[in-house]
Amino acid sequence: MRVTVGMSGGVDSSVAALLLRRSGVEVSGTFMKNWEEDDPDYPCTALDDMRDALEVCERLSIDLTVENFTEEYRQRVFREFLQEYEAGRTPNPDILCNREIKFRAFLDSALENGADRIATGHYARVDCVDGRFRLLRGCDRNKDQSYFLYALDQKALSRSLFPVGELKKTEVRRLAAEAGFGNHAKKDSTGICFIGERRFTPFLQRYLFAQPGDIVTPEGRLIGTHKGAIFYTLGQRSGLGIGGVADCEDLPWFVVDKDLSTNTITVAQGNDHPLLYSDALEVVQVNWIAGTAPELPRSCSAKIRYRQPDQHCRIEVMSHERLLVHFDVPQRAVTPGQSVVFYDGEECLGGGVIDKRICQ
């Protein structure tokens, strides 16, 4: 079997390649270049990452090729990313990148070049039951990345391997150190390359036009101005620029609503303000990993953000393209544009994009 590993330069994909090499399969590596931009103030780390990937491949005596997916990334990921912000939602580009680049463009390229499978360093697992491929949580619950993979389909799962999915992160770093990998202690990536460590709003302002507007309380009191409603997300605390407000308690302010038609954001005080909570949400762009929807309505668990503990919910059909999800416990900062992902025990069933939050 021939396997092409998506080498990011990080420790996880490096150990994925190591484990496959030890298993005796024919292994090669591919470094994906997804973004091109010269910015001396906030340089992209892609060149350093590529050097790390090359060093690992040389140590393992496997070939490394570089695939340029910048056009695919701009058209399939970054354009949708901007469109979602223009519509007032907060997208998750990591999920888009997995669906469109790593498990579509990269997968197609690897298969065309003779690979039988691709592999990545994701903390997730795949098995096959009665001819159906299932996406399972990674064994290290602190690193489980199935949330970011819910948009995959049967083709992608049938051709994908996740060699580190059975391991704890500490074990991955130990194996990397024993193998002499220079990146064994490398810090985990915490963002997407085209944003990196930049200040987020100034970056978006390069691509999106927005006008300053009013910041108001739920009672309609004007207490400040903002840089453009599209740049703010529900539950946001930082970057509001609200100082002491007369006749108000000394508590932090949070975004509880925004209205693009009036270019207004509404803020309220307190981490547990009732307006931050929603009892239900509506979901669009639903993907069921099995290829067909389970029998609905049904109860299961769900996450509305990465690392959130499982939340019990009930899924109902609203229309052919829309689901209604009721939670047993109201959820804080349900954010349109983000994803809700469904689970049945260890299995990730799929998920979709949050379109509306419902407060009762």
Per-residue pLDDT for the chain (360 aa), expressed as one digit of tens each? Answer: 999 999 999 999 999 999 999 999 999 999 999 887 655 555 567 888 999 999 999 999 999 999 999 999 999 999 999 999 999 999 999 999 999 999 999 999 999 999 999 999 999 999 999 999 999 999 999 999 999 999 999 999 999 999 999 999 999 999 999 999 999 989 887 666 555 555 677 888 889 999 999 999 999 999 999 999 999 999 999 888 887 787 788 889 999 999 999 999 999 999 999 999 999 999 999 999 999 999 999 999 999 999 999 999 999 999 889 999 999 999 999 999 999 999 999 999 999 999 999 986
Given 97, 300, 313, 348, which residue is catalytic? 97
Distances (CA, A) of 25 to 13, 28, 112, 156, 217: 16, 10, 18, 20, 61
DSSP summary character for residue 344? E
Asked if 91 and 337 touch (Cβ cutoff 8 Å), the reply is yes
Q: Is 97 a catalytic residue?
A: yes
Give all strands (DSSP E) within the chain, no chain letters: 2-6, 26-33, 64-68, 117-119, 124-129, 132-137, 160-161, 213-216, 222-226, 253-259, 264-269, 277-288, 298-303, 311-319, 322-332, 339-344, 347-358
SS3 220: coil
Q: Is 193 a catalytic residue?
A: yes
Given 44, 128, 139, 193, which residue is catalytic? 193
Q: Which residue has tokens 């292994």?
A: 27
Rg over alpha carbons for the chain, rounded to the nearest Å, is 22
pTM comes to 0.94
Q: Which residue has tokens 């040389």?
A: 58
Instruction: Report cis status (omega within 30 of 0) of the bond before 163.
Output: no
SS3 287: strand
Domains of the chain, CATH where assigned: 2-178 (3.40.50.620), 210-271 (2.30.30.280), 277-358 (2.40.30.10)
Work out the angle at residue 176's Cα, subtended by the Cα atoms of residues 174 and 177, and round it to the nearest 5 degrees: 65
Asked if 115 and 4 touch (Cβ cutoff 8 Å), the reply is yes
State the amino acid at position 5 in one-letter form: V
> d(Cα 103, Cα 341) in Å, to the nearest integer?
18
> d(Cα 188, Cα 15) in Å, to the nearest integer?
14
Which residues lie below 8 Å from residue 126, measured CB to CB, with a gap of 6+? Answer: 133, 134, 135, 136, 157, 160, 161, 162, 165
